[in-house]
Amino acid sequence: MAKNWRQQIQKWLTNKMELPQDVMMDLPRITMIGQIHIYIENHRGLLSFTDRELRLLLKNGQLLVKGQSFVIKTILPEEILLEGKIDEVMYLNE
């Protein structure tokens, strides 16, 4: 119950103060350029990486990116830039 109330307050504040939802609700911001680049901000850490898969920890769940020929171009504590051929981007509630 408390979590739902908190989410309602966050949504109300976001609308009234015209703040980006990703900032107020601690959501990831994902920017893709075609199938070749994906830039992910506001994640909680790298869980696994191969040339075919990237898995990131989020506040609630995980983000899974699948594809081919992956290369991490930039990695910072809360940001990552991945290049390669991106086939799937999935949010996992785990």
Q: Looking at 3-49, which runs of residues are DSSP E strands?
A: 29-33, 37-41, 45-49
| Per-residue pLDDT tens over the stretch 5-50 | 776 776 766 666 665 555 555 789 999 999 999 999 999 999 999 9
Q: Is the pTM value of this prediction over 0.95?
A: no
- Tokens at residue 31, please? 């920017």
Identify the structural domains of the chain with CATH numbers, from first to last: 26-92 (2.60.40.2000)
